[in-house]
Amino acid sequence: MLRDKESIDEIQSVIDALPNLENDKWPFLPKDIFALSKPITKDGNPFQIAYRSAMIHFSMSVKQIEDELEEWLNKFENFFKRIPDVYEANVDIHCLYSGNYKNGSLNYNWKANRDKNGLVTWKYKGDPTKIEDISNPINFTHSFFTEELKKQVIENMQWLGDQIGKQISITDRLSTVKGNYDRHFTRTSKLEFIIEDFGVRTSGAIARIGGANNKFEFRTDCIRKIERVSNYLEIESVLDLNVSRLINFEIREPGDNNG
């Protein structure tokens, strides 16, 4: 987060502490590849290109980084966590030979959560980091439709079927970076109506919630997480190797807007 010139200098000093390329060791993470977006003050430019936050961007093109990807990501994580007040980092990797992945793309994301005392915990989401898993995406830890998950899906579909006549609010998020629902990667839509019918088609396993002039559908066979607390239901689905969908349902009595 931007505060003053001193904070920007602190960020730059972390970048400058990285080795030059000629002094770095494989897998490379030299300071040569990084740049800090400037100018960051209105005096420097009336049209700021770093709104509220300082942005560090980087790129490099190397051969067979996937062979040492886990080690490289560890180096990258150790680097960015030294930056004062850092709160998010994202890595996109395009592997020409990882044909099992959509467009040959891999994504890794870290996001900080700070409590009221300033204590930071990091949430990490990402694709596999080992070459054998990159080459064999069926090994995704979330890819298996277990008997327990199947039971949860059936129970919650039955629960939705019992809500006919009640008001439903739906928030539907579709992310092009699997598991990351940051607004930069996500398309969000919202619906609210009285449920008139609900069913799951045998063909395609499509669940359908209907109301006056409204219809909402989602696949049940690609659900990877489903959780319900009271009248709130959350469903996360994996639609393909890069795309995921997060749906939140809230059930209320008709006319009750105090959810």
C-beta separation of 91 from 27 below 8 A: no
β 105-114/34-36 pair status: unpaired
pLDDT at 147 over 60: yes
User: What does the pLDDT read at residue 101?
Assistant: 58
112: amino acid identity, one letter: A
130: pLDDT confidence band, cut at 50, 70 and 90? confident
DSSP 101-113: SGGGEEEEEEEEE
What residue has token string 């209105």? 42
pLDDT at 203 over 90: no
User: What does the pLDDT read at residue 166?
Assistant: 96
Does residue 37 or residue 232 have the better pLDDT? 232
pLDDT at 194 over 80: yes
pLDDT at 75 over 60: yes
Q: Burial, 32: exposed, middle or buried (Cβ in 10 Å; 0-12, 13-18, 19+)?
A: middle
What are the structure tokens assigned to 71, written together? 């080690």
C-beta separation of 31 from 19 below 8 A: yes
63: pLDDT confidence band, cut at 50, 70 and 90? confident
C-beta separation of 195 from 253 below 8 A: no
The pTM (predicted TM-score) of the whole model is 0.54
Q: Burial, 225: exposed, middle or buried (Cβ in 10 Å; 0-12, 13-18, 19+)?
A: middle
Residues 2-25: tens digit of each pLDDT: 567 788 889 999 999 999 999 999
User: What does the pLDDT read at residue 90?
Assistant: 94
Length of the chain: 259
259: amino acid identity, one letter: G
127: pLDDT confidence band, cut at 50, 70 and 90? confident
- Output the CA–CA distances (angstroms, integers) from residue 184 to 121, 175, 177, in the order listed: 22, 9, 10
